[in-house]
Structure 1
Amino acid sequence: MNYFLTYAVYVIILSVLMGISTWKLFKKMGYNPLFAFVPFYNYYIIQKETDHSKWWVILAYVPIVGPIMMTVFHLFLMKHFGKTSFVQKLLTVILPFIYMAFVNYSKDSELHVEDDLYLTEEEKAEGKKESFVGSITFAVVFATIVHVFFTQPFGIPTGSMERTLLVGDFLFVNKWSYGFRMPMRPLAIPFLQGTIMDTGEKNNPKDDPKSYVDAVKLPYARILQFNKPQKNDIVVFNYPQDSVHTATDRKDPYVKRCVAVAGDIMEFRAGRLFINGKPESILGDQKKQHKYIATTGSQLDVPSLYKKYGFLPVQEVQTQTGYLYDFQGLTDETAKEIKMLPQVIDLKEHIWPKDSGAVSFKLNAMHDAYTKHVDTTQSIFPINKKWNQDWYGPLKIPKKGDVVTLNHETLPEYRWIISEYEHNKLENKDGKIFVNGQEATQYTIKQDYYMMIGDNRDASLDARFFGFVPEENIVGSPMFTWLSVEGLFPDKSSSYQPDGKKIRWDRMFKATNTGEANKTSYWWVAAIILLLFFGWDYIARLFKKKESEE
């Protein structure tokens, strides 16, 4: 409800601005000037006067799509009053209410009515140009509607989900899998996630130009939520600890497997996952993968191994007696085969020692002492536990309605939930904990949380590092792989990079979230859609040609 109330406030503000900047123009068109202040009806009048489709009016009030459509209506209105030069159009686009107010209060703003019978060749050519631009605009609008409200493409740049999802896979994500999350930043450039461009490693990422207006925000709301993420679902979500973007729906998208849901207890024992005290269930499309250290007497032919086994993240270190190889994701079968290679002296699975906390330390030269450096890419969550990737937990996943105890031992576990995910003011003063100014020894959880872990457990930045994933951050679930290119993304976890790029045709248009080893291919669905699209376009052109001949 808060979402739609906030949205209504924005609509009223826009309508007031529209009315102030155009009421005289509405009067000159023969309408009551008060109509310029009426939401929907003001744009309906412009649509009626310029003879365009009525459903465009509805699109003018749709988040993200709306600003594009409103700009189109503003251009229509200005053209109706003879403002058609490049500069006038540019001013209408970048300073809409200011420029329209200038025209509105100008004495020379007169209604301009075109008669097709008296159009010059230049005007006719301009009309064709505008028609072309209009077609492109509405193609963008249609694509934006699909991208924002239905499905979104998503690429796999890292190997954290190998060998279920491969580096270079491109997926379509179903945004309705767990109910549709309404857009939270309605003023945004279509198709861009968080930033317009990356200004480089030397600059602070927070200074990169944003693709959205952060000041115009709407609260979290999810509609038609018939399902929630279940154990073993592959889920796309916004990275909770993204320090660059404050907007939840603009944080970097991640894809992992949901291994534990709200209320579950998760634990890793010697690298093996247990949920509620029981070993995890392995689906048909999952491969158990672990980190192995190989000691060899001579150098391995890594390119040949890569070609044979596919994804093979490895770091090579030369020693006095030979080489050490750090394989971050070997299956049991692959490990056995590599161990049989003549160069291999020893191959052991790497398990972190129990009670060795994965917290990095750095030298503080100013004070000549080591100080703890808390970093979620190198520190296990929560930071006060002596846990690591292989010995983790037991940790209970918070559930909506849970009442948790707050003290200095539990605070690291719940501080992000209280302050960031559930938007409270959290303070730690004089040894006491305060929530929204009130001393607190307990806190009631406001939403469900999940643990998202990569299938390639030893090469995955996942919930063991960044903690619980709020329901608010859930985007949806992958539907199918529409493209897969080997070698497209550099593998930072490996000292070897494959030569060239190669399309994996066998993965095209295959379902991704079924758990089956042999997934169904939907290439025929894609073929039918393409046939219908181009066939409909051809038939439409035939009808148009026939009408023009008559």
Structure 2
Amino acid sequence: MNYFLTYTVYVLILSVLMGISTWKLFKKMGYSPLLAFVPFYNYFIVLKETNHPKWWAILSYLPIVGPIMMSVFHLYLMKKFGKTLFKDQLLTVILPFIYMATVNYSKDVELEDENDLYLTEEEKNSKKKDTFIGSITFAVVFATIIHVFFTQPFGIPTGSMERTLLVGDFLFVNKWSYGYRLPMRPLAIPFLQGTILDTGEKGNPKDDPKSYVEGVKLPYERIFQFNKPQRNDVVVFNYPRDSVHTSIDRKDPYVKRLVAVAGDTFEMRNGRLFVNGKPETVLGDQEVQHSFTVNTGTQLDIPALYNTYGFLPVREAQTNTGFEYTFQGLTDKTAKDIKSLPNVVDMRENIFPKDSGTVSHKLNAEKNAYTKSIDTTQSIFPINKPWNQDFYGPLKIPKKGDVVAINQETLPEYQWIISQYEHNKLENKNGKIFINGKETSQYTIQQDYYMMVGDNRDASLDARFFGFVPEENIVGKPMFTWMSVQGAFKDSSSSYQAPLKVRWERMFKATNTGDANKTSYWWIAVMILVLFFGWEYFVKLFRKKKTEEDL
């Protein structure tokens, strides 16, 4: 409800600005000046008077799409009053309400005669150019609507979900899988997630230019949530510990498998995953992998192994007796095959000892447990436990309505939930805990949380490190792979770079069915292309016929 109230306020503010800067222009067009203040209808009139499709008016106040369409409509209006020079168009786009107000209150502004019979050849060419630019603009707007409100493309740059999702897979994500999460930064550059460009390792990521206006924001709201995330779903979500972007929907997108839902108990025993005390259910399209160290007498033919088994991130080192290889991502079958190679001396699975913690756990344990400066790529969650990625838990996943005990022992587990995800003021002073200024020993969870873990268990930055994923961070489910390119992303975890090639067999196949043999959607892709180009052909044919009849 807060979302729609805030959104209404934004719409009213923009409508008032539109009215103040254009009411005289509406009067000159023969309309009541008050109509310039009416949301949507003011742009309906502009489109009607400039001979453009009137239904475009419904796009005028939509998040992200609206600012683009408003700029287009403002240009149409200014052109109707003779403001066609480049400087006029530039000022209309960058200072819309200010420039339109100067035109509005000008004494000599008059309507332009748009009758084609009186246009010069140069003016006719200019009109054709405007029509072409308008077509390109609307194509961009249409793509933006699809991107913002329906489905979003997503690439797989790392091997954390091998071999279910491969490095170089490009997916379409269904934003309606678990209800549609409304945009929280309505003023943004289309198609860009967080930043416009990366300034590099030397710069501070927080200083990178953002692709959205941080000051114009809307609260979290999800509509039409008919389904909740289910155990074993492959899910795209915004990385909860992203410190660069404060807006939830602008944080970096991650893809993992949802292994434990709200209310479940998650545990890792000797590198194997357990939920509610039972071994995980492995689906048909899921291949769980682990890390192995292999010692050989002579070098392995890594390119040949890659061609046979696919993804094989590997580190190679020469030893006194031969060579040592560390593989991150071997299935049980692949490990068995490699072990049987004649030049393999021995092979062992890499398992952290129980209660050994992580590299940074011992350092963090010496500090105050309540801290926000945790490197989640090195620290296990929560930081006061001697767990590691192979021996982890048991950990109960918080559920909406749960009343949890808050003390010095449990605070590292719940501090991000209380302070960051549910936006309370949390203080830990003199051994006492305060929430919103009141000393407390318990807290009621306000939303569901989830445990997201990669199928490639030993090469995955997942919930074992960054903790619970709030429901508000969930984007949706991948639908299908529309493109797959081996070697598209450089693998920093491997000393071997795979050759570049297109994986045709993976294209337009479903990604989230749980079945080993996935359905191909080539026929849908072809149908969409036929409909798109066929529609465009018939529209041009209709317009040509109508023009001939008018003559």
In the alignment, what sits opposite 1:27?
Answer: 27
TM superposition shift of 1:110:
2.1
> How far 1:431 moved relative to its partner?
1.7
Aligned to 2:231: 231
Q: Distance in 2 between matches of 1:115 and 1:211?
A: 41
Q: Is 1:507 the equivalent of 2:500?
A: no
Q: Secondary structure at the match of 1:163?
A: coil
Which stretch has the larger CA shift, 100-109 or 504-513? 100-109
Instruction: Output the CA distance in 2 between the equivalents of 1:468 and 1:540.
Output: 51
Residues 1:84 and 2:69 aligned together: no
Give the deviation of 1:373 after TM superposition: 8.2
1:167 touches 1:489 (CA, 8 Å); kept in 2?
Answer: yes
Give, in whole Å, the separation in 2 of the partners of 1:238 and 1:345: 43
Deviations 1:318-358 (A, max 9, x none): 22222221111111111111112222111001110000111
Partner of 1:368: none
Q: Give the secondary structure class of the aligned counterpart of 2:538.
A: helix
Aligned with 1:139: secondary structure? helix
Give CA-to-partner distance per residue, 1:107-155, whole Å, 9 cap, x none: 2222223221100000000000000000001101111111111111111
Query: Cα deviation per residue 1:50-96 (whole Å; 9 max; x = unaligned)?
Result: 12222111100111110011111111111111111001100000111
Q: Which residue is 1:408 aligned to?
A: 408
- Cα deviation, residue 106, structure 1: 2.1
- Indicate conservation of the 8 Å contact 2:480/2:509, yes or no: yes
Which residue type is aligned with residue 296 of structure 1?
T
User: Do the aligned partners of residues 24 and 548 (structure 1) sit closer, same or farther apart at CA in structure 2, a change above 3 Å counting?
Assistant: closer
Aligned partner of 1:70: which letter?
Answer: M
What count of residue pairs does the alignment treat as equivalent? 542
Q: Deviations over 1:136-191 (max 9, x none)?
A: 01101111111111111111111000000111111111111100000011001111
- The 1-side partners of 2:281 and 2:346 are apart by 30
| Cα contact 2:269–2:390 (8 A) shared by 1 | yes
Partner of 1:430: 430
1:9-57 superposed Cα distances (whole Å, 9 cap, x missing partner): 1111111211222222222223332222222222222122212222111
**DSSP 3-state at the match of 2:227:** coil
SS at match of 2:398: coil
Which piece of structure 1 moves more, 122-131 or 46-55? 46-55
Aligned residue for 2:533?
534
CA gap 1:531/1:44 in 2 versus in 1, 3 angstroms: closer
Aligned to 1:453: 453
Structure 2 counterpart of 1:274 = 274
Q: 1:41 to 1:480 in 2, by over 3 A?
A: same
Q: CA deviation at 1:531?
A: 1.6
Report the equivalent of 2:523: 524
Note the 1:101-500 alignment, pairs <5 A.
101-360=101-360, 374-499=374-499
SS of residue paired to 2:245: coil
TM-score (normalizing by structure 2): 0.96
Letter in 1 for 2:492: K
Worse-superposed segment, 409-418 or 534-543 = 534-543
Q: Secondary structure at the match of 1:106?
A: coil
Question: For 1:521 and 1:190, how far apart are their aligned partners in 2?
Answer: 29
Which residue of the partner structure matches residue 544 of structure 1? 543
Separation in structure 2 between the aligned mates of residue 179 and residue 107 of structure 1, nearest angstrom: 52
CA contact (8 A) 1:315 1:494 kept: yes
Q: Distance in 2 between matches of 1:44 and 1:508?
A: 42
SS at match of 2:262: coil
The separation in 2 between residues aligned to 1:44 and 1:547, in whole angstroms, is 24
RMSD over equivalenced CA pairs, Å? 1.6
Quick one: distance in 2 between partners of 1:519 and 1:29?
59
- For structure 1, which segment, 50-59 or 35-44, has the greater mean C-alpha deviation from structure 2 after superposition? 35-44
Q: How does 1:45-64 map to 2 (within 5 A)?
A: 45-64=45-64
Which stretch of the first structure deviates more once superposed, 251-260 or 195-204?
195-204
Contact 2:361 2:379 in 1 (8 A): no
Q: Distance in 2 between matches of 1:312 and 1:471?
A: 33
Q: 1:306, 1:312 within 8 Å by CA — same for their partners in 2? A: yes
What secondary structure does 1:230 align onto?
coil
2:179–2:222 CA contact under 8 A, matched in 1: yes
Q: Are 1:72 and 2:72 matched, yes or no?
A: yes
Q: Give the whole-Å Cα distance in 1 for the aligned partners of 2:436 and 2:406.
A: 14
In 2, the alpha carbon distance for the partners of 1:45 and 1:135 equals 20
Deviation string for 1:260-314 (max 9, x for gaps)? 0000000000001000000000100111211111112222221111111110011
Q: Quick one: which amino acid aligns to residue 155 of structure 2?
A: G
TM-score, normalised to structure 1, is: 0.96
CA distance in 2 between counterparts of 1:469 and 1:359 reads: 23
Q: Deviations over 1:472-491 (max 9, x none)?
A: 00100011111111111111
CA-CA distance at 1:361 after TM superposition: 7.5
State the percentage of identical aligned residues.
Answer: 78
Distance 1:545 1:374 in 2: 65
Deviates more, 1:353-362 or 1:250-259: 353-362
Do the aligned residues in 2 keep the contact of 1:298 with 1:322 (CA within 8 Å)?
Answer: yes
The whole-number CA distance in structure 1 between the counterparts of 2:504 and 2:37 is 55
8 A contact 2:361–2:384 mirrored in 1: no
CA contact (8 A) 1:361 1:373 kept: no
Which 10-residue stretch deviates more, 327-336 or 17-26? Answer: 17-26
Residue 359 of structure 1 contacts residue 373 of structure 1 at CA under 8 Å; is this kept in 2?
no
Distance 2:189 2:148 in 1: 11
Q: CA deviation at 1:544?
A: 2.5
Q: CA deviation at 1:526?
A: 1.2
Letter in 1 for 2:5: L
2:367 aligns with none
Partner of 1:12: 12
- Whether the aligned pair in 2 keeps the contact of 1:359 and 1:383 (CA below 8 Å) is no
Answer whether contact 2:361 2:386 (CA < 8 A) is retained. Answer: no
Would the aligned equivalents of 1:270 and 1:351 in 2 still touch at CA under 8 Å? yes
> Does the 8 Å contact 2:71/2:96 carry over to 1?
yes
Q: Partners of 2:373 and 2:510 in 1: how far apart?
A: 42
Whether the aligned pair in 2 keeps the contact of 1:362 and 1:373 (CA below 8 Å) is no
Q: Secondary structure at the match of 2:108?
A: coil
Looking at structure 2, the residues matched to 280 and 27 of structure 1 have their Cα atoms a distance apart, in angstroms, of: 69
The CA distance in 1 between the partners of 2:460 and 2:375, in whole Å, is 15
Check the 8 A contact 2:361/2:383 in 1, yes or no. Answer: no
Which one is further off, 527-536 or 118-127? 527-536
- Please give the secondary structure, in 2, of the residue aligned with 1:420: helix
Q: Verify the 8 A CA contact 2:451 2:469 in the aligned structure 1.
A: yes
CA distance in 2, matches of 1:532, 1:82: 38
Distance 2:373 2:147 in 1: 39
1:374–1:223 CA distance, 2 compared to 1 (3 A): closer
